[in-house]
Structure 1
Amino acid sequence: MTAPGTLAIYAGAALAEILGCFAVWAWMRQGASPLWLLPGLVSLAVFAWLLTFAPADFAGRAYAAYGGVYIAASLVWLWLVEKQRPDAWDMTGAAICLLGAAIILLAPRAA
């Protein structure tokens, strides 16, 4: 699979996970209707399904690489949806996580 394809899978999974988790957050922390849980559960199922397409031989490696993308996507959510601009520490941490994800995903491995 190509790098853009892999990034698309991880970006879609991150969006689905954030939406699902935010539905629970909105219900528990912001007083939203419990009906928010229904699309939230669907979104979390989509997240798990998308990760099955990750180009890794082992689930744990796919999840580890995804983690860096999730962290960066969460900061995008913070900025665009919650209107809180990430600070330099947020950006530095996300960059380190993305570097780690790239190493995990792209490192040459013995067959």
Structure 2
Amino acid sequence: MTSFAIYVLAALAEIAGCFGFWAWLRLGKSPAWAVLGVLSLVIFALLLTRIEAGAAGRAFAAYGGVYIIASLAWMQVVEGARPDRWDLIGGVICLAGAALILFGPRTN
């Protein structure tokens, strides 16, 4: 599986996990939502360890850009709130930064 695919799956797992707690604590859903959230966050952590990077911090930093794009997609698809142009421009900038961090040339 490619790094990008792992990042996308990790982002979906993290967002779903956090949303489980949001639904429980902010939307009054059943505590079962939090349990599912915990399971989703465990999957997120396991996926993120599959990234090929020389340092954990680099893998986590690059993940940030993918997370932002996935969050904007979640906002539209799940919550029904359409990202505006500033959301989209900011997301593209973050994704470009993530690609630079992950794929940029290294001297060591």
TM-score (norm 1): 0.94
User: In the alignment, is residue 88 of structure 1 matched against residue 85 of structure 2?
Assistant: yes
User: In the alignment, is residue 8 of structure 1 matched against residue 5 of structure 2?
Assistant: yes
Letter in 2 for 1:49: L
RMSD of aligned Cα (Å): 0.9
User: In the alignment, is residue 33 of structure 1 matched against residue 37 of structure 2?
Assistant: no
How many residue pairs get matched?
Answer: 108
1:13-70 alpha-carbon deviations (Å, 9 max, x no partner)? 0000000000000011100011111111010000000000111111100000000000
1:57-89 alpha-carbon deviations (Å, 9 max, x no partner)? 111000000000000000000111111110000
Distance between the aligned counterparts of 1:15 and 1:104, measured in 2? 21
Structure 2 alignment gaps of length 5 or more: none
Distance between the aligned counterparts of 1:57 and 1:65, measured in 2? 12
User: In the alignment, is residue 63 of structure 1 matched against residue 60 of structure 2?
Assistant: yes
Structure 1 alignment gaps of length 5 or more: none
User: In the alignment, is residue 22 of structure 1 matched against residue 10 of structure 2?
Assistant: no
- Segments of 4+ moved more than 6 angstroms: none
Letter in 2 for 1:9: I
Distance between the aligned counterparts of 2:46 and 2:107, measured in 1? 28
TM-score (norm 2): 0.97
* Identity fraction in percent: 58
